[in-house]
Amino acid sequence: MNTHPLTVDIHQDRGGPKQALLEVRELKKYFPVRSTGFAAAPKFVHAVDGVSFSVAKGQTLGIVGESGCGKSTTARLVAKLMAPDSGSMVFDGDGVDEFRGIALKDFRRNLQMVFQDSFASLNPRLTVAQTIAFGPQVHGMGAQEANQLARDLLARVGMEPDQFGARYPHELSGGQRQRVNIARALAFDPRLLILDEAVAALDKSVQAQVLNLLQELKSERQLTYLFISHDLHVVHYLSDQVMVMYLGQIVEIGPVERIYGHAVHPYTQALLSAVPSMDPAQRTLASPISGDPPNPIDPPAGCRFHDRCPKAQAVCKAQAPRLLSVAADAAHQVACHLNDPQSGHGAPASSATYAGLPLREVSA
């Protein structure tokens, strides 16, 4: 069941374990905004503005950030559901949709996506088995074989095929529908799975079951995950690497323990301090940052976080920080002047821990 005839050749590992499965370089997407005035200059929402990262084989990259920070747009760009304005991707050594690279069709079979809205992502007129079998069938698999594959996959995600195969999406619970979505994504035996807020709409107990299922599937099928979420607990649980986004840009990226233990960027620190704790001694008294993210149509000059940052200085308004490695760990990169000795920022970089996070004073 693990390999069906469609996918034998295009799914093999090419570059060995050290080569990143997916490398994304300078991805940009600006959405045009309808201009209000007559002959007004066209305006753009800077949804994703120069994002570069790589995902190692068999790892999970968690992408976190506030809503509107470009997480989902990044996912859609990576999935090629949307054409980027600029930027390129390399999948296991092959340029995606490039001359001598991997063809878009083959890339798509190697990469599947699970969406947030479990109901909207299933066709209400198809049975569960038909939905799962659709993909393989359009790639030439026989109806019988595709149906058998759908039944196998349903069983794998914990749903009795005899009982659920002929059901319609509205006859299932949210957790069951999300299992079906996972089964559909697995039908191509992909190597990379994009989980776009895949468990966000589920209640906690079901969420835990689905997360465990995802963990099992990952090791069983050597999957690599791109896990997008605003839930920091879930990201902590599932990810190997974490990428923090703010207004279409990466502010901090690194191994999960570095990010959760030694976050450098004031925004990441603020995000982490906003996570509710089970320990009553660690009560959050003041909100870590105030205000809403600035308008992505006119992002602030310099560091995009400067107008909400407690440590902002003159240099932050003037100059955009570069994404640089932290001294302690080369894999941990931060885009903040605090981390750049040459930036001219006065305060020394302080790496804060999850627990003892300096909260911003709320001045009355």
Partner 1 sequence: MKIALSMPVSAAPALPGAAPLITTPIVSPGYWGTVWAQLRRDPIAIAAAAVLLLLVMAALLAPWLAPADPYKASMIKRLLPMGSAGHWLGTDELGRDLLTRLMYGGRLSLLMGVVPVAAAFVFGTSIGLFAGYVGGRVNMLIMRTLDIFYAFPSVLLAVAIAGALGPGLSNSLLALTLVFVPQVVRVAESVTTQVRALDYVEAARMSGASAFSIIRVHVLGNVLGPIFVYASGLLSVSMILASGLSFLGLGVKPPEPEWGLMLNTLRSAIYLNPWIAALPGAMIFITSIAFNVLADSVRSAMELRT
Query: Distance from CA of residue 226 to its chain's centroid?
Result: 5
**Rounded least distance, CB 343 to partner 1, Å:** 41
Which two structure tokens, joined as six digits, stand for 190? 């992909």
83 binds partner 1 (CB under 8 A): no
Q: Which of 170, 285, 291, 364 binds partner 1 (CB under 8 A)?
A: 170
Q: Which of 163, 205, 219, 363 binds partner 1 (CB under 8 A)?
A: 163
Q: Which of 40, 41, 138, 347 binds partner 1 (CB under 8 A)?
A: 138
**Rounded least distance, CB 120 to partner 1, Å:** 4
Q: Which of 184, 258, 262, 304 binds partner 1 (CB under 8 A)?
A: 184
273 binds partner 1 (CB under 8 A): no
Size of the site for partner 1 (CB under 8 A): 44
Q: Which of 168, 218, 282, 310 binds partner 1 (CB under 8 A)?
A: 168
Question: Which part of the chain contacts partner 1 (CB under 8 A), choosing from 85-93, 155-163, 308-316, 339-347?
Answer: 155-163
HEC readout, the chain: CCCCHHHCCCCCCCCCCCCCCEEEEEEEEEEEECCCCCCCCCEEEEEEEEEEEEECCCCEEEEECCCCCCHHHHHHHHCCCCCCCEEEEEECCEEECCCCCECHHHHHHHEEEECCCCCCCCCCCCCHHHHHHHHHHHCCCCHHHHHHHHHHHHHHCCCCHHHHCCCCHHHCCHHHHHHHHHHHHHCCCCCEEEEECCCCCCCHHHHHHHHHHHHHHHHHHCCEEEEECCCHHHHHHHCCEEEEEECCEEEEEEEHHHHHHCECCHHHHHHHHCCCCCCHHHCCCCCCCCCCCCCCCCCCCCCCCCCCCCCCCHHHHHCCCCEEEECCEEEEEEECHHHCHHHCCCCCCCCECCCCCCCCCCCC
CA-to-CA separations, 150 to 70, 146, 186, 363, in angstroms, rounded: 33, 6, 10, 59
139 binds partner 1 (CB under 8 A): yes
Question: Which part of the chain contacts partner 1 (CB under 8 A), choosing from 23-31, 208-216, 255-263, 344-352?
Answer: 208-216
φ, ψ for residue 26 (rounded to 5)? 50, 45
Nearer to partner 1 among residue 126 and residue 275 (C-beta) = 126
Q: Which of 74, 147, 181, 333 binds partner 1 (CB under 8 A)?
A: 181
134 binds partner 1 (CB under 8 A): yes
Token pair 């490695």 is at which residue? 325
Nearer to partner 1 among residue 31 and residue 324 (C-beta) = 31
Query: Distance from CA of residue 109 to its chain's centroid?
Result: 19
212 binds partner 1 (CB under 8 A): yes
31 binds partner 1 (CB under 8 A): no
**Rounded least distance, CB 78 to partner 1, Å:** 11
Nearer to partner 1 among residue 166 and residue 286 (C-beta) = 166
**Rounded least distance, CB 195 to partner 1, Å:** 13
Nearer to partner 1 among residue 117 and residue 307 (C-beta) = 117
Q: Which of residues 104-123 bind partner 1 (CB under 8 A)?
A: 104-105, 108-109, 111-113, 115, 117, 119-123
79 binds partner 1 (CB under 8 A): yes
The contact set with partner 1 (CB under 8 A) reads 79, 81, 104-105, 108-109, 111-113, 115, 117, 119-127, 131, 134-135, 138-139, 158-160, 162-163, 165-168, 170-171, 176, 181, 184, 187-188, 209, 212-213
